[in-house]
A = this chain, B = another copy of it.
Amino acid sequence: MTTETEKNLVVGIDVGGTGTKIGIVDANGEILARDESIATPQYSDFNDFVDAMNGVVQRLVKEVGAEGRIRGIGIGAPNANYYAGTIENAPNLPWKGVLELCKVFSEKAGVPVFATNDANAAAIGEMKYGAAKGMKNFIVITLGTGVGSGIVINGQLVYGCDGFAGELGHVTMVRGKEGRKCGCGQTGCLEAYCSATGVARTAKEILKKDKTPSTLRGMKNITSKDVFLAAKKGDKIAKEIFKQTGTMLGEALADFIKFSSPEAIVLFGGLTKSGKYILDPVKKAVDKNVMPIFKGKAQILISQLKDSDAAILGASALAWE
């Protein structure tokens, strides 16, 4: 027999700068139907974008026979504010200013809509279905175009006084004039070194200084995948890129551990595909930079969720709460 609760479903949406992914999710975290057809930048008008999302949601609902069973919609989006239900001045989205995402969408869809930023959504996804299942204190670090974070303390996501807590990609790692410029307007941010573009910049710098032969030499727009493939073949420059990137990431994680003493830090995103090449220097730097009471405590884990699943599942979990 299916109970009323088991019949309930939610929608999870991952709004990204390039594409928007939508899924219908059941109480067990199964994605019953999904759509990845919406190209975010094609919608210059925000209302049209919400209509497009709503159109896909209604179509998927019909596909799985879920009419009347959708309890709510959860959205992960850049610069989304959980408290206000808004997207605020997101640099990578086509619409400027403060957008009343949840209010507008909820009126169209007829169900409650909740939103948070993508890293927070990933953290909720890891807690409900991933590497942080059952944990009450952990941090998710998303390593993508930018570096984001979702922090869970005492089993609750940390939103802070204004909904904007957890901007760990922008802690200052290099102080003074030597710090790289970051997209946020500051210099020396973690994101300027450990994001996809950060890794590419590090590669460029090392290739310029170190004349060791490398398959990366002459490549344009070096990605962490390029560096990984080169490192696997024993490329010394590639290994050095991972060493510098991982060491700085580990130094940052050590400071985060001193803040909230988490059970684990879950790394998420493209860079983690490089496995031990990035993990080994991270772990070494964490261990070197924490005090004795913290040594060997916080596990450094790699997300086990598929990138696309984690974003949809995490966002959907907002609607269950």
Residues of A within 8 A of B (CB): 88-89, 135-137, 151, 153-154, 156, 158-168, 170-173, 175, 184-186, 251, 254-256, 258-263, 289, 291-294, 297-298
Contacts and interface: CB of A to CB of B under 8 A. Distances in A.
Q: Is the interface of A mostly helix, strand, loop or mixed?
A: loop
A137 B154 contact: no
Given A186-B289, A261-B165, A172 B251 contact: yes
A167 B136 contact: no
B292 A185 contact: yes
Contacts of A256: 259
Given A153-B153, A161-B297, A164-B294, A172 B289 contact: yes
A254 B171 CA distance: 8
Nearest to A294: B164
A260 B137 contact: no
A185 B295 CA distance: 12
Given A175-B251, A185-B291, 12 more contacts: A151-B259, A151-B260, A154-B154, A160-B261, A160-B262, A161-B261, A161-B298, A162-B261, A164-B293, A168-B259, A184-B291, A186-B289
The 10 closest A-B pairs by CB, nearest first: A160-B261, A165-B261, A161-B263, A167-B258, A171-B255, A137-B161, A184-B291, A165-B260, A164-B261, A164-B293
Contacts of A136: 161
